[in-house]
C-alpha cells in the first residue's frame, strides 16, 4: 500500500528517493528554491501549492509527492535560507562572533523579508538550522557557562533580531495585501496618531513626540539592542 497524503513524520526523515518507481523529476532543493524565489519576489502569501507547481512546471498535485503538506513546504523554505548561513571559524572573542552572527541573520532577513513571519522554534531542527545552532555554540566555547545558559542566550539573541527586523519590515511585507499604497497607509496612521496625541490623553506620548531625537540610525539602534542583551547575560 502506497503512503498517500500526510502521515506523522518529519519531512527530513522521509527519504527523497526510495528506489521503486520512476525517477522523481525534481529534488527537494529545486522545490525549496522555487518557493523561496516566489516569496522573495511576490511575498509569502503568493506561495501557494499551485503557484509553486507552476514555477516548477508541473501539475499541482504532483507537488504532493514531494511535500505532503503545505507546512512542510514552509519547513523546506526555512531550511533553504538557513543554508545561506555558512559557518566560519570562531575568532575566540565570543561577543564579537555573536554580533557577527546577528548581523548576518539580519541581512539574511532583509534578503528574504518573509523569514521573520515564519520564524518559529519548530523550524529550528532542520538540518541547516542545526548546523547554525552548532555554529553558535562553537562561537560560545570561550564563554564559561552551562549549555543551558548558552542556549538561552542564543534563543534570546535570535528572538531580538527577529523582533527587530520584523518591526523594520512589517509594514513593507504587509503592504502587498493592502488595497492601497504604502504611503497612504503610513499617512493615515500618522494622521490618526497625531490626532490622538493632540487630544491630550497621552501626555508622555506627546512629550516623546516633541523630543527631537535627531537623525535615526537604524543600524546603530540595532547594534545597541544587541549589546544590551549580551550585557544582560554576561556583564563586562
Partner DNA sequence: CCTAGTTACGTACAGCGTACGCAGTGCGCT
Partner DNA sequence: AGCGCACTGCGTACGCTGTACGTAACTAGG
Q: How far is CA 91 from the centre of its chain?
A: 26
Q: Which three cell numbers stand for residue 67?
A: 511535500
Q: Which residues are CB-contacts of 98 (< 8 A; sequence separation ≥ 6)? A: 136, 139, 140, 153, 157, 226, 230
157, 178 Cβ separation under 8 angstroms: no
- 122 lies in the binding site for a copy of itself (CB under 8 A): yes
Distance, CA of 138 to CA of 88 (rounded, Å): 10
| 110 touches a copy of itself (CB under 8 A) | no
- ∠ CA 85-87-90 to the nearest 5 degrees? 135
Name residues contacting a copy of itself, limited to 138-157 (CB under 8 A). 138, 141, 146-148, 150-152, 155-156
d(CA 1, CA 24): 19
Residue 88 or 180: the one with the smaller Cβ distance to a copy of itself is 180
Q: Binding string, 188-227, against a copy of itself, x = CB under 8 A? A: xx-xxx-xx----xxxxx-xx--x-x-------x--xx-x
Using CB under 7 A as the binding rule, the residues of this chain from 46 to 105 that contact DNA are: 46-51, 58-62, 64-66, 69-71
Residue pair 136/153 in contact by the 8 Å Cβ criterion: no
194 binds, among DNA, a copy of itself, none (CB under 5 to 8 A by kind): none
Binding to DNA in span 174-193, by CB under 7 A: 179
For 221, the grid coordinates are 539602534
Contact set for DNA, span 1-20 (CB under 7 A): 1-6, 17-20
Q: Over the Cα atoms of the chain, what is R_g?
A: 22
- Among residues 67 and 98, whose Cβ is nearest to DNA? 67
Site for a copy of itself in 69-88 (CB under 8 A): 69, 71
Cβ closest to DNA, residue 14 vs residue 131: 14
The residue within the footprint of a copy of itself, chosen from 29, 45, 93, 231 (CB under 8 A), is 231
How many residues can be counted in the chain?
Answer: 236
Residues that bind DNA (CB under 7 A): 1-6, 17-26, 46-51, 58-62, 64-66, 69-71, 179
Amino acid at each position: 500500500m502506497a503512503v498517500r497524503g500526510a502521515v506523522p513524520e518529519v519531512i527530513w526523515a522521509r527519504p527523497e528517493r526510495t528506489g521503486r518507481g520512476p525517477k522523481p523529476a525534481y529534488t527537494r532543493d529545486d522545490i525549496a528554491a522555487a518557493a523561496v524565489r516566489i516569496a522573495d519576489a511576490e511575498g509569502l502569501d503568493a506561495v501557494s501549492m499551485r503557484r509553486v507547481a507552476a514555477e516548477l512546471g508541473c501539475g499541482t498535485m504532483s507537488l504532493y509527492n514531494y511535500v505532503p503538506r503545505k507546512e512542510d513546504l514552509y519547513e523546506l523554505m526555512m531550511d533553504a535560507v538557513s543554508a545561506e548561513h555558512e559557518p566560519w571559524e570562531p575568532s575566540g572573542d565570543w561577543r564579537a562572533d555573536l554580533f557577527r552572527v546577528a548581523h548576518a541573520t539580519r541581512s539574511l532577513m532583509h534578503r528574504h523579508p518573509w523569514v521573520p513571519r515564519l520564524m518559529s522554534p519548530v523550524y529550528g531542527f532542520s538540518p541547516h538550522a542545526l548546523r547554525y545552532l552548532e555554529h553558535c555554540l562553537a562561537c560560545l566555547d570561550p564563554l564559561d557557562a552551562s549549555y543551558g545558559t548558552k542556549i538561552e542566550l542564543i534563543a534570546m539573541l535570535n528572538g531580538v533580531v527577529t523582533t527587530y527586523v520584523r518591526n523594520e519590515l512589517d509594514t513593507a511585507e504587509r503592504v502587498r495585501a493592502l488595497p492601497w499604497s504604502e504611503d497612504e497607509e503610513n499617512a493615515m496612521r500618522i494622521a490618526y496618531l497625531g490626532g490622538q496625541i493632540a487630544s491630550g490623553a497621552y501626555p508622555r506620548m506627546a512629550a516623546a513626540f516633541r523630543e527631537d531625537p535627531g537623525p535615526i540610525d537604524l543600524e546603530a539602534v540595532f547594534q545597541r539592542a544587541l549589546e544590551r542583551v549580551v550585557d544582560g547575560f554576561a556583564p563586562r
